């Protein structure tokens, strides 16, 4: 579905529907919360969406670092460009004696959270492929081809910190992703010897155990990359048990292909040739063996509710691939352009945004609070609001705000997306008050507002617009 540009006029700070005392009351509440915070280091914009009346605004047009609130923009743009019925489709099939994996950029292939929601067992993807081969009487495989060309070859964003690259939130972004492109590591002290467990078990990753077993004192374990790809050194002290924790791997396409080969061999289907990552041209000879689909809504949930960076980065690149003539080579560069076009089409001035990645991990991203609310208004006014709203974390119940807003006055009625990188905190979403919904965006740079203060602003909206009987 190609993007339909729809103009949204910017909101004037007025009191057309809401009474002036109510607006003043909210301003007073928020004023007490922000206290002596540096005025230039935070931005707030709160809007009643049906009248598009701004009930509170501070620095609303100032472009600021949004952290993970960037995901709200990426997921909204994905809905606009891809449509709510979009599905990722990954295929495994045969071409003569060669097994071929054609990636779609699916960020949730083998994702443990998504698999748990659907009751899928660990390794189900490989089991399905093996069954498909056995049903066709396949007894051996020569080569395995991994086609990742739906995305370009730039798997690591240039503006991500090198020190973050082994963390789950900064994993590589590939045309074939598996398990969030991470391994899960658990260490345990067993009688003075540290035992390391890695899931999934594979010889594709070389894990070196340099952990010291201790009986007292501090206990912590870290994973460190080396110059050799996928050689990971574990260091630290283990008193009892550490983990499980995720460690990002390199070369995700090869990771999936190697795991596939290992599962085939264990199932009695030998692999005699090479594992190669390259484009595949079937010339009509491709015979499907197994297929895997992931609906867009699942990706929105993982990006917004759980802040999964891979989901939002894959969506950005998918937008780029989807808008290309051959549906291939989705890139950060083209994805940024298209998301920028979406924002401009909503009437957002260029000076109020700069798109650098899809997840907000890059410190080069910039968004104004007004830009975020304008995007939320666009979704609210369209046909996909309920679908989008269900992707947000729910206060007191799930996602990144499940531990906040547990009081009955706020529980399940504050929905949104949090954001955090060093020195930056953000929170944007919707308050479902007694007088209807209110869309909000709160951005704090240079640590001007604490998380408690930001949450208190959302609570102030709920308190101010509580229905009075």
Q: What is the pLDDT of residues 272-321, one digit of tens each?
A: 999 999 999 877 899 999 999 999 999 999 999 999 999 999 999 999 99
What is the bridge-based pairing of β-strands 144-147 and 275-277?
Answer: parallel
Please give the mean pLDDT across all residues of the chain: 94
Tell me which CATH code domain 20-83+298-464 carries: 3.40.710.10
The strand pairing partners of 98, in sequence order, are 95
For residue 182, pLDDT beyond 90: yes
pLDDT digits (tens, 9 = 90+) for 78-110: 999 999 999 999 999 999 999 999 999 999 999
pLDDT band at 2 (very low <50, low <70, confident <90, very high): very low
The separation between the first and the last C-alpha atoms of the chain, rounded to the nearest angstrom, is 46
Taking CA atoms, 284 is separated from 91, 95, 132, 312, 351, in Å, by: 15, 9, 19, 33, 49
Express as a percent the part of the chain with pLDDT over 70.
94
Residues 6 or more apart whose Cβ sits within 8 Å of residue 175 = 103, 104, 105, 147, 148, 149, 150, 151, 253
For residue 233, pLDDT beyond 70: yes
Domain boundaries defined on the chain: 20-83+298-464, 87-296
For residue 22, pLDDT beyond 80: no
pLDDT at 38: 85
Name the residue among 266, 326, 319 with its Cα closest to residue 296. 319
Does residue 92 contact residue 132 with C-beta atoms inside 8 Å? yes
CA-to-CA distance for 67 and 80, rounded, in angstroms? 22
Fold match between domain 20-83+298-464 and domain 87-296: no
Length of the chain: 469
pLDDT digits (tens, 9 = 90+) for 194-222: 999 999 999 999 999 999 999 999 999 99
Residues 6 or more apart whose Cβ sits within 8 Å of residue 137 = none
pLDDT at 4: 40
Look up the CATH architecture of domain 87-296: 3-Layer(bba) Sandwich (3.50)
pLDDT band at 468 (very low <50, low <70, confident <90, very high): low
Express as a percent the part of the chain with pLDDT over 90.
91
What is the bridge-based pairing of β-strands 53-58 and 42-48?
Answer: antiparallel
pTM, two decimals, is: 0.93
Compute how many other C-beta atoms are within 10 angstroms of the C-beta atom of residue 437.
Answer: 21
Angle at 108 between CA 103 and CA 109, to 5 degrees: 50
Rounded to an integer, what is the distance from CA 26 to the centroid of its chain?
33
CA-to-CA distance for 215 and 430, rounded, in angstroms? 49
Residues 6 or more apart whose Cβ sits within 8 Å of residue 268 = none
């Amino acid at each position: 579905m190609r993007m339909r540009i729809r103009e949204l006029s910017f909101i004037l700070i007025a009191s057309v529907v809401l009474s002036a005392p109510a607006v003043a009351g909210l301003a007073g509440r928020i004023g007490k919360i922000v206290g002596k915070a540096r005025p230039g280091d935070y931005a707030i914009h709160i809007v009643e969406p049906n009248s598009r009346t701004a009930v509170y605004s501070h620095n609303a047009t100032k472009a600021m670092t949004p952290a993970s609130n960037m995901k709200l923009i990426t997921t909204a743009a994905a809905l606009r460009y891809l449509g709510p019925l979009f599905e990722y489709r990954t295929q495994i099939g045969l071409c003569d004696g060669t097994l071929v994996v054609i990636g779609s950029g699916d960020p949730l292939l083998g994702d443990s959270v998504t698999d748990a929601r659907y009751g899928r067992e660990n390794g189900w993807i490989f089991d399905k492929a093996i069954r498909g081969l056995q049903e066709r009487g396949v007894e051996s495989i020569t080569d395995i081809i991994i086609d990742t060309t739906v995305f370009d070859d730039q798997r690591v964003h240039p503006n991500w910190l090198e020190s973050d690259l082994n963390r789950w939130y900064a994993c590589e972004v590939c045309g074939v992703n598996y398990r969030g492109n991470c391994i899960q590591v658990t260490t345990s002290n067993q009688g003075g010897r540290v035992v390391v467990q890695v899931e999934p078990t594979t010889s594709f990753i070389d894990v070196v155990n340099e952990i010291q077993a201790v009986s007292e004192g501090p206990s912590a374990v870290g994973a460190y990359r080396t110059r050799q790809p996928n050689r990971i050194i574990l260091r630290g002290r283990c008193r009892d048990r550490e983990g499980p924790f995720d460690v990002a791997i390199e070369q995700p396409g090869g990771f999936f292909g190697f795991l596939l080969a290992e599962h085939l061999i264990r199932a009695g289907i030998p692999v005699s040739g090479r594992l190669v990552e390259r484009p595949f041209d079937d010339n009509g000879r491709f015979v499907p063996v197994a297929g895997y689909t992931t609906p867009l809504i699942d990706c929105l949930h993982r990006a917004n509710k759980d802040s999964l960076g891979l989901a939002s980065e894959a969506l950005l690149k998918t937008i780029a691939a989807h808008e290309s003539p051959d549906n291939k080579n989705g890139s950060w560069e083209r994805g940024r352009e298209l998301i920028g076009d979406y924002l401009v089409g909503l009437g957002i001035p260029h000076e109020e945004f700069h798109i650098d990645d899809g997840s907000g991990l890059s410190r080069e991203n910039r968004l104004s609070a007004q830009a975020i609310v304008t995007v939320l208004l666009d979704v609210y006014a369209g046909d996909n609001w309920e679908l989008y709203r269900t992707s947000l974390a729910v206060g007191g119940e799930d996602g990144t705000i499940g531990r906040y807003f547990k009081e009955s006055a706020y529980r399940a009625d504050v929905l949104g997306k949090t954001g955090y990188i060093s020195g930056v905190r953000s929170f944007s979403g919707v308050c479902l008050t007694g007088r209807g919904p209110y869309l909000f965006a709160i951005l704090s740079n240079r640590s001007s507002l604490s998380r408690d203060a930001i949450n208190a602003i959302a609570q102030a909206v709920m308190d101010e617009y509580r229905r009075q009987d």
